[in-house]
Copies of this chain bind each other. A is one copy, B any other.
Amino acid sequence: MTLESLSPCKDNHYLTSNRIDHFGFKNDKTFNQRYLIADQHWRKEGGSILFYTGNEGDIIWFCNNTGFMWDVAEELKAMLVFAEHRYYGQSLPFGADSFRDSRHLNFLTSEQALADFAELIKHLKRTIPGAENQPVIALGGSYGGMLAAWFRMKYPHIVVGALAASAPIWQFEDIVPCGVFMKIVTTDFKRSGPNCSESIQSSWDAINRLTRNGTGMDWLSEALHLCTPLKNAQDVQHLKDWISETWVNLAMVDYPYESNFLQPLPAWPIKVVCQYLKNPNLSDKKLLQNIFQALNVYYNYSGQARCLNMSETSTSSLGSLGWSYQACTEIVMPFCTNGIDDMFEPQPWDLKTFSDECFKQWGVKPRPSWITSMYGGKNISSHTNIIFSNGDLDPWSGGGVTKNITNTLVAIIIPEGAHHLDLRANSAFDPMTVLLARSLEVKYMKQWIRDFYASPRKKH
């Protein structure tokens, strides 16, 4: 049975009304929040509710990429709920105007999203007979994983625990070094083929040398099969950013089997990419022809692409507009490279420039220390029942919780695991490490469910 046949991610969706502003009373308008429900394995007796805390994209896409929940539903007698995050997918508070200006975007925050989830769960418990006295567990990956962890921290009366997969809750301020992310990306390429990271490292200078003049730009545009040719220095910077992001994305989705998360890709895609990048000491042109072959793995695995489009790096199911706003307000993650610990051109973290660009684009200024004020940064030891899982291939693990904090705030490391591999459906190609991680996760979740049923329960 394939996931497709199991999951009703495609059409089983419902709408409810949720407040646009939970934290003020002037605006009492509501919006339609989408969520998906699957109850084929749910039991009213002793069952549970697994609640996916939707992140920056269409919820159907997350639903289709979170096979783990479907795989454990029967064992946990669980109802599955996938909640779409406001301002993404079909959950647009102001419809087509939602991204128009800072006034319309004002309600796009993690705090509002968590309040949406709280109210949605209350609504489900009120309206689904049998659901009221069941434990709810939050699950999420990436930003959704941060939301799952934060949801348990802020609403422990609503969720008994959280599985926060690949959740970089410490990628803020100076909690971790800003270079750790790109260092992990680099390590992934280093480990996937001889001279692979060196070849990429060499490519930046090669690009710089080649694009000193128009002829070089033309040549490179053709060699890389760019849909839009390079015209000036700004385009060249854009090219380098786009290529960097491609390597980052490959590090995130370096799964052990053919997959289609950000793009359709072969198994262990970095290994495939690195087959083209064995020699860093070629001429600039030869090196960049190899870079093209490498990029082609990511952008043209299907073989259908006629040119490479620099305006896209991943699925359009991710809401890049909303995420850009969130990164410019609360979710301020400092990144940097130094070209020594990583294979990229050196680029320090520059809050001032970042802030200016945010103000230009959205009319807002980032508040880099707010997330730490709100959610505690490293001081989270008084909370309980959160699993932080991290694949060691995943660059986001650099800002993640990778060591146990207490007995009930635990870290699970998944060697050979890319970005929330554990949340994906079981596969014959899964490494043993992720099978172990998943069984440990289920063990904890069962414990939380048992604890819930063993304790006296209160109505409110």
Task: Please report A residues at the B interface, Cβ cutoff 8 Å.
Answer: 22-28, 102-103, 105-107, 109, 111-112, 115, 118-119, 122, 154-158, 173, 175, 329-330, 363-365, 367, 369-370, 372-385, 455, 458-460
Q: For A23, give its contact among B112, B369, B372, B379 (CB under 8 Å).
A: B112
Q: Across the interface, do A25 and B102 meet the contact criterion of CB distance under 8 Å?
A: yes
Q: Which residues of B contact A119 (CB under 8 A)?
A: 373
Chain A interface, DSSP helix/strand/loop, else mixed: loop
Give the distance in Å from the alpha carbon of A369 to the alpha carbon of B22 in the complex: 12
Q: For A377, give its contact among B109, B330, B460 (CB under 8 Å).
A: B460
Q: For A28, give its contact among B122, B330, B365 (CB under 8 Å).
A: B365
Q: Across the interface, do B25 and A23 meet the contact criterion of CB distance under 8 Å?
A: no
Give the distance in Å from the alpha carbon of A158 to the alpha carbon of B363 in the complex: 31
Q: Which residues of B contact A106 (CB under 8 A)?
A: 24-27
Which chain B residue lies CB-closest to A329?
A: B25
Give the distance in Å from the alpha carbon of A187 to the alpha carbon of B327 in the complex: 57
Q: Across the interface, do A376 and B157 meet the contact criterion of CB distance under 8 Å?
A: yes
Give the distance in Å from the alpha carbon of A365 to the alpha carbon of B27 in the complex: 10
Number of copies: 2
Q: Across the interface, do A107 and B373 meet the contact criterion of CB distance under 8 Å?
A: no
Q: Which residues of B contact A455 (CB under 8 A)?
A: 381
Question: Would you give the shortest CB distance from A51 to chain B, in whole angstroms?
Answer: 15
Q: Which residues of B contact A379 (CB under 8 A)?
A: 156-157, 458, 460
Q: Across the interface, do A460 and B26 meet the contact criterion of CB distance under 8 Å?
A: no
Which chain B residue lies CB-closest to A326?
A: B25
Question: Would you give the shortest CB distance from A361 to chain B, in whole angstroms?
Answer: 13
Q: Across the interface, do A26 and B103 meet the contact criterion of CB distance under 8 Å?
A: yes
Q: Which residues of B contact A330 (CB under 8 A)?
A: 25
Q: For A378, give its contact among B27, B373, B459 (CB under 8 Å).
A: B459
Q: Across the interface, do A25 and B365 meet the contact criterion of CB distance under 8 Å?
A: yes
Q: Across the interface, do A372 and B26 meet the contact criterion of CB distance under 8 Å?
A: no
Q: For A382, give its contact among B28, B156, B375, B377 (CB under 8 Å).
A: B156
Which chain B residue lies CB-closest to A118?
A: B373
Give the distance in Å from the alpha carbon of A379 to the alpha carbon of B367 in the complex: 32
Question: Would you give the shortest CB distance from A85 to chain B, in whole angstroms?
Answer: 16
Give the distance in Å from the alpha carbon of A383 to the alpha carbon of B382 in the complex: 8
A175 with B460, Cβ < 8 A, contacts A25-B106, A26-B102 known:
yes
Give the distance in Å from the alpha carbon of A376 to the alpha carbon of B159 in the complex: 11
